[in-house]
Every structure is written in structure tokens, then in C-alpha cells.
Chain A
Amino acid sequence: MQQDTKRGLTLIAPPLGYAVALLAVPLIAIVIFSFWTQDYLTIDRTLSLRNYREALTDPIYGAIMLRSLGISGSVTLITVMLAFPVAYFVSFRVPPAHKSLWLFLITIPFWTSYLLRIFLWKVILGYNGVVNSVLTGIGLIDEPLSWILYNANAVVITLSHAFAPFAILPIFVALEKIDRSLLEASRDLGENAMTTFLRVTLPLAAPGVVAALLIVFIPTVGDYVTPAQVGGAGGTMIANVIQAQFRDLNNAPLGAALSVLAMLIVTVLALGTIWIARRLSGGRD
């Protein structure tokens, strides 16, 4: 047994050391760096709260942070609601032999050309785009719609598309784990299809739904490409501001402070979601 422990520790050491050196240490470094200040071309290394004061008092940062959270929140709700029926279909209606083929088809678009997928939404939503051509073609609208591109709506649509598979997979895994005899038992005891779904299936799928909420919300808050491509001025998110501070505005310490704040807010919200989910499930999870 002692030998096994030693072997396990030896094996875990390289990947763990790597994660410590390239994740934990850089995260500590960026926190330290966020307390330094940009002094024109040089960095003043005395610790100061100036960046945080600026980030928290300048209303523009607060507004963009709130907008990022709002956009990610909408994306998360839309994605998870759209994804649930798909996951349910693959888990409950597709014959077992075909399940992995369906999952494969669902995940393929997610792995290919992230940048180009985002760009193509511009083509779909644009003034002369697919949506407007079709709608004017069938006579549903006279003027092309302009509220679907270069604003927060466009960011929500595009991100919901990009993160769809992320939401489907955890819900699918949770649904697969449900013991099908529980559903039969519920029907035998007089529940109908609807109440069985609401009182048995849905509560048992809850861990997957919570995982899906988190796995969509966390990365979307920090998305850079989508708001930069389809967001316009009204769809700018926190990652765009961070990138601008690091590159064009040349105030990397302020960018670091914004990164740290974004990370803190996301962590608190994620832990809050997990806590609420545990409370709702009666602390059994």
C-alpha cells in the first residue's frame, strides 16, 4: 500500500508540477502585478491600490463588467434551455448503438475554426446577410433588420451557438446515469409522463444542468473574439477592455487588475451557483 502511494505521487508529480508552474504561479504573479502601477513607460513596483481604485470607481469598467455578466447570463440560460431537449432526445429516444454518432455530430462544429464560425455569424446577421435576405425575400420585412448585428443581441446569439455542445454534454451524461426503472416505478405509481418528467427526471438531471450552467457561463464571461467581431460598440465585454489595456492603451497593470476582478466575480458566482444547487437538492449532492 505504501509502495502504491509512492508510485501514485511519482506519477502525479510531473503534471501537477506543470499546473503549479504554469497556472498557480502565473495566477499569483498576475495578482502581484495588478498592485503595481504603470508610470508612463516604466512599471512602478511599489504595491498600490491605484488600479483597483480606478477599476472600481470609473463607471465605464463597472458598466462593461455588468454587461459581460448580463450577456453571459443570457447566453447561459438560452444555451442550457435549448440544449436540454437535445440531450434528452439523445439519451432517451436514440437507440444506444447510435448515441455516440449523434454526440459526435453535435460536437464536430465545436472543434472547427472558432474564429471563422464567429465571423460567419456576421455574414448571417449582417445588413445584406442570410437572415435579412431570407426575410425580405419572403416579404416578411421591408427593410433589413439592423438590431441583429453589432450589439449585445448579436453577441448573445453567436455565443449561444458557439457553446451549445458544452451545454449538451454534461446534461446528457446526467440523463444517462438515471436508472430507467425509477421512471417505470413512477408511472406504475400513477404519475403521468409530465409529472414523471418534472418530479423524477428533472431533479435527477439537476447536477448535469448545474454543470452545464457553469461550463457555459465561466468561459463566456471572458470571451474576446465574439464581442470584438459582432458586438460593435454596444457589445464590448470585459475581455476586450483587458486586451486593450495590455496592448493598445499600454496600462498592463490596470488590465491585470481587471483580470483579477473578473476572475474573482466569476469564482464567487460559480461557488454561489453550486451552493444554491446543493441547498435545493437538500444537501445530498
Chain B
Amino acid sequence: MLRAYTLAFLVFLYAPIALLPIFAFNSGTVIAFPLDGFTTRWFSAVFSNRELHAALGNSLFVAVLSAVLSVLLGLAAARANIRYRFRGKTAAMGLIMIPLVLPEIIVATSLLVVIVRFLNLPLSLWSLIAAHVLICVPFAVAILNASFQALDPALEEAAIDLGETRASTFRRVTLPLVMPGIVASLLISFTISLDEFIIAFFLTGSDVTLPVYIWSLLRFPKQLPIIMALGTLLVLASVLILTIAEWMRRRGLARAGKNDSGGFL
């Protein structure tokens, strides 16, 4: 019974996403049943829409930079958290992890106030990158904590005893062992940034990201089938990215000889 319930729950979870391809290939312009006929017209529209490509370009720029910066900061935080003891560590880690539970509207409004009202700076993709790094770092730390936890400190000590410097030990022993965690957290941060809407809605100026662009289209019924096609492609891309991330995460745990104890969080 429990199994049937869980399977029903999975159906519930996937129901909305399952509708995406159905309407993406439906020739009718109204997103409702009954369906009309089969078409690939909406996909051609996705590939020929200039504004959409510009928004996608902005999104990719923001997501790549946010992911790289988040993981660099996440590496430092996770390493400090697992490897060293110092006063105030709990408070420091608490502050770094807070964005995980802070409503995003608070992050969005407070950064908007600082940038526009206190610093008098124009909004740009850089303000969005700054905000996305803030919300991605906790996810990177959560994944990298597990990677550093799985790392046997004896391996690093052995390297140092055998004459490696601290820097070369990190590069030649530590880094390869946590590399799967690094890749997994890069991909997760990338996915979060790519999909994030509300902060982008507040913090982008004239250059919009893909979710902000999609939001602006949702008001126009004529554009909806194109959004369904775009959504289908986005879901396929994120499933691919997440599968790679999960595979890397598991490989990392296997390499460190640890049992897998759960998912990303």
C-alpha cells in the first residue's frame, strides 16, 4: 500500500511537467483539452525568436558565472567547516547557510534597496549574479560538506609526510577526491540560477533573463504554445544536467569508499 501511495505521489509530482510536451506538439493555440493535431511549429518558433535567444544568452552568462563563484566560495566554506575548528564557526556557517531558508522576496527587495537607493548604481546582470551567488553558495556548501566529510584526512597527512607542500597536497590529493562534488555543485548552482525568477524579476534592468522573459510572455495567450515548446526543451536540458550531477556525486562517494546516504541536500 505504501508503495502504491508513493507511486501515486510520483505521478502527482510529475503531472504538470508531463503536460509540457503534450501541449508543445499540439497544433491548437489554446492550452486546454481536447487536443487538436500534431505540429512541430512551436519548436521552430523557439529556434527563430531573437528576443528569446538574447534572454537565453543572458541567463547562461549569469548561470555560468554564478555557478563558478558560488562553488569557489562554497569550497572555502565547506573546507573550513569540515577540516578546521575555530571560534564562531557555527555562527559563521549559520549566516552563510541562511539564504537556504530566507524567502527569496526578502533577498530580492533588500538587494534592490542597497543597489538602487543606497549605492545609486544601475541594475545589470552583475547585480543579479551577485544575488545568485548568495543563494547558490548554501547548496554548494551542502554538497561539498559531504565531499570533504568523506575525505580521509590520513591521505593528506601521508602526502605531506612524503614531502608534498600543503598547496601541492591540495592540488594532487584533495582536489581530485572532491572533484565529483565540485562538478555536482557547479551543475546544481547552474540549474538554480538558470531557473530563478523572483530575484531576477527585481534585479534585472533592460537585459532580462529567460525566466523573466517567459514571465512577460505568460500574459499573451498567443505565445503560450511557444512557451510550452521552450519548457519542454528546458526540462530535457535540466534533467540531463541533474543526471550528470547525481552521477558525479555518487561517483565521488564511491571513490571515497563511502555509502550513499541520500540525495543532494
Chain A residues at the B interface, C-beta cutoff of 8 Å: 4-5, 7-9, 11-16, 18-20, 22-27, 29-30, 33, 43, 82, 85-86, 88-90, 93, 96, 99-100, 103-109, 111-117, 119-121, 123-124, 126, 128-130, 133, 161, 164-165, 169-170, 172-173, 176, 214-215, 218-219, 221-225, 229, 239, 242-243, 246, 252, 255-256, 259, 262-263, 266
At the interface with chain A, which of B38-46, B60-68, B129-137, B155-163?
B129-137
Beta-carbon contact of A262 and B103 below 8 Å: yes
**Interface status of B154 (Cβ within 8 A of chain A):** no
**Interface status of B92 (Cβ within 8 A of chain A):** yes
Beta-carbon contact of A259 and B110 below 8 Å: yes
Q: B113's contact among A5, A82, A89, A252, by CB below 8 Å, is which?
A: A252
In angstroms, Cα B265 to Cα A223, docked, is 21
CB contacts (< 8 Å) of A120 on chain B: these are: 16-17, 19-20
Beta-carbon contact of A26 and B114 below 8 Å: yes
Number of residues in B with C-beta < 8 Å to the partner? 89
**Interface status of B124 (Cβ within 8 A of chain A):** no
Distance to closest chain B CB from A171 (angstroms): 11
**Interface status of B2 (Cβ within 8 A of chain A):** yes
CB contacts (< 8 Å) of B234 on chain A: these are: 112-113, 116
Beta-carbon contact of B202 and A246 below 8 Å: yes
Minimum CB distance partner of B2 in chain A: A89
Minimum CB distance partner of A104 in chain B: B246
What number of A-B contacts does a CB cutoff of 8 Å give?
253
Residue from A7, A18, A259 whose CB has the most chain B CB atoms within 10 Å: A18
Known: A115-B215, A222-B103. A30 touches B195 (CB 8 A): no
In angstroms, Cα B91 to Cα A24, docked, is 13
Known: A7-B84, A169-B262. A19 touches B16 (CB 8 A): no
Distance to closest chain A CB from B193 (angstroms): 12
CB contacts (< 8 Å) of A16 on chain B: these are: 77, 92, 95-96
Beta-carbon contact of B263 and A107 below 8 Å: yes
Known: A30-B109, A93-B3. A86 touches B9 (CB 8 A): yes
In angstroms, Cα B250 to Cα A103, docked, is 13
Distance to closest chain B CB from A110 (angstroms): 8
Contact with A along B73-106 (1 / 0, CB 8 A): 1101101110111110100100110110111111
Beta-carbon contact of A26 and B110 below 8 Å: yes
Beta-carbon contact of A113 and B235 below 8 Å: yes
CB contacts (< 8 Å) of A23 on chain B: these are: 95, 98-99, 102, 107, 134
Supply 12 A–B pairs (Cβ within 8 Å), ascending by A.
A7-B84, A12-B89, A14-B72, A22-B131, A29-B110, A107-B263, A112-B238, A116-B20, A116-B231, A169-B263, A219-B103, A222-B104
In angstroms, Cα B261 to Cα A269, docked, is 31
Beta-carbon contact of A4 and B85 below 8 Å: yes
Beta-carbon contact of B197 and A115 below 8 Å: yes
Beta-carbon contact of B117 and A43 below 8 Å: yes
CB contacts (< 8 Å) of A243 on chain B: these are: 105, 201-202
CB contacts (< 8 Å) of A4 on chain B: these are: 84-86
Q: A8-B86, A23-B134, A262-B106 are in contact. List 17 more A-B contacts (CB 8 A).
A: A7-B84, A19-B137, A29-B113, A29-B114, A30-B106, A100-B262, A111-B242, A113-B235, A114-B195, A116-B214, A120-B20, A126-B32, A161-B16, A215-B101, A239-B103, A243-B202, A256-B109
Known: A11-B80, A29-B114. A106 touches B134 (CB 8 A): no
Minimum CB distance partner of A120 in chain B: B16
